[in-house]
């Protein structure tokens, strides 16, 4: 497979450095942080740069796209993350009205500020800063809060640029921030998970390599989904095993890798066939990522 290798994924555009500085400068203005995590890969979505900035400030972890993950896994992550002044909540931000459950939770963990002002007879608006990796659904979350599109959204990383304060109601404002990755993606497994869910731009990775990596991961994680969707049957895949020089032969060299075999299954099942009946594995690779990201392979959690 030609193209960019997925052995090392590094993507940190220049605007992200500026974004981190702006977030750090504006964080003191926020009473609470809404930390948006893609529920399919919550651990991989944690950004050490965010954790350092947030410190002891109250945090609502928003496990977004929860409809794409088994409820048992969601409950485990909610329990794991809800400690002290940090609370985890599962939502599907693209579903109308799903953010209504967040307001009372935000008021609860920011009660100290509210009580101080109420004691003075002053009604004050709470301010929340929304943070998260690219394509985690931050802007969609804010639009859901506001019941109309007040920020720019898109199903691709890097859409939001710059500072945007948005008034939700008379007593609550939100600051949208651009999706930002950790400058050093030293955990390549986490980087792969971010690539699978679309938090790393497809254009900076080898799509076929990423797709094959995902398929191999799903062979163990969700084999039935691969069988039902693409007729990929693990026991029928043949390992060419041409690593050792003693095994070298032209016959072995012509055998297809497991990745190519799986992509051919995808191409045939999706009707992605070129003239002469040749499977279009490049289009198949794109189709696999699209199917996973849109939940067509069922409810799956990577972390």
pLDDT digits (tens, 9 = 90+) for 164-216: 678 888 778 888 776 666 545 567 888 899 999 998 888 878 899 999 999 99
The radius of gyration computed from the CA coordinates of the chain, to the nearest angstrom, equals 22
Furthest CA-CA distance within the chain? 84
Nearest to 267 by CA among 256, 282, 255: 282
- How wide is the angle at C-alpha 211 spanned by C-alphas 209 and 215, nearest 5°? 115
CB neighbours of 178 closer than 8 A, spacing ≥ 6? 15, 16, 19, 134, 158, 160, 161, 162
CA 36 vs. chain centroid, Å, equals 9
149: pLDDT strictly greater than 80: no
32: pLDDT strictly greater than 70: yes
Region 77-81 average pLDDT? 96
CB neighbours of 243 closer than 8 A, spacing ≥ 6? none
Which pTM was predicted? 0.82
- Condensed to tens digits (0 to 9), the pLDDT of residues 39-67 reads 999 999 987 777 778 888 899 999 999 99
User: Is the alpha carbon torsion for 109, 115, 118, 122 positive or negative?
Assistant: negative
> Quick one: what percent of the chain has pLDDT higher than 90?
38
Domain 14-176 has CATH 3.40.50.300: yes
Question: Which residue ranges does the chain devote to CATH 3.40.50.300?
Answer: 14-176
CA distance readout (Å), 262 to 6, 145, 239, 300 = 18, 41, 12, 19
Question: Which residue ranges does the chain devote to CATH 1.10.1580.10?
Answer: 206-293
156: pLDDT strictly greater than 70: no
238: pLDDT strictly greater than 80: no
Helix/strand/coil for 211: helix
**Ranges 8-17, 127-136, 234-243, most confident:** 127-136
- Given this model, what pLDDT does residue 41 score? 95
Domain 206-293 has CATH 1.10.600.10: no
Region 259-280 average pLDDT? 91
Question: Please, are residues 29 and 125 in contact by the beta-carbon 8 Å criterion?
Answer: no
């Amino acid at each position: 497979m030609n193209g960019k290798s997925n052995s090392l994924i590094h993507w940190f555009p220049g605007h992200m450095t500026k974004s981190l500085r702006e977030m750090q400068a504006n964080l003191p203005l926020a009473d609470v942080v809404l930390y948006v995590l893609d529920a399919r890969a919550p651990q991989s979505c944690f950004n050490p740069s965010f954790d350092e900035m947030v410190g002891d400030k109250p945090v609502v972890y928003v496990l977004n796209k929860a409809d794409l993950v088994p409820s048992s896994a969601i409950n485990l992550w909610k329990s794991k993350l809800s400690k002290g002044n940090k609370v985890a909540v599962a939502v599907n931000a693209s579903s109308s009205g799903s953010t209504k459950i967040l307001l009372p939770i935000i008021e609860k963990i920011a009660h100290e500020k509210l009580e101080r002002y109420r004691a003075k007879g002053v009604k004050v608006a709470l301010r929340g800063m929304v943070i998260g990796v690219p394509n985690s659904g931050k802007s969609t979350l804010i639009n859901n809060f506001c019941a109309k599109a007040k920020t720019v959204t898109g199903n691709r990383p890097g859409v939001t640029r710059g500072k945007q304060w948005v008034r939700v109601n008379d007593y609550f404002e939100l600051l949208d921030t651009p999706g930002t990755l950790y400058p050093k993606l030293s955990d390549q497994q986490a980087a792969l998970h971010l690539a699978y869910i679309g938090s790393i731009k497809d254009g900076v990775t080898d799509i076929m390599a990423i797709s094959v990596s995902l398929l191999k991961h799903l062979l163990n994680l969700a084999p039935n989904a691969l069988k039902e969707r693409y007729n990929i049957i693990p026991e029928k895949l043949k390992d060419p095993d041409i690593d050792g020089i003693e095994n070298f032969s032209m016959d072995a060299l012509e055998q297809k890798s497991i990745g190519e075999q799986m992509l051919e299954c995808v191409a045939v099942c999706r009707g992605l066939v070129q003239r002469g009946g040749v499977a279009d594995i490049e289009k198949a690779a794109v189709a696999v990522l699209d199917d996973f990201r849109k939940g067509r392979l069922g409810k799956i959690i990577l972390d």
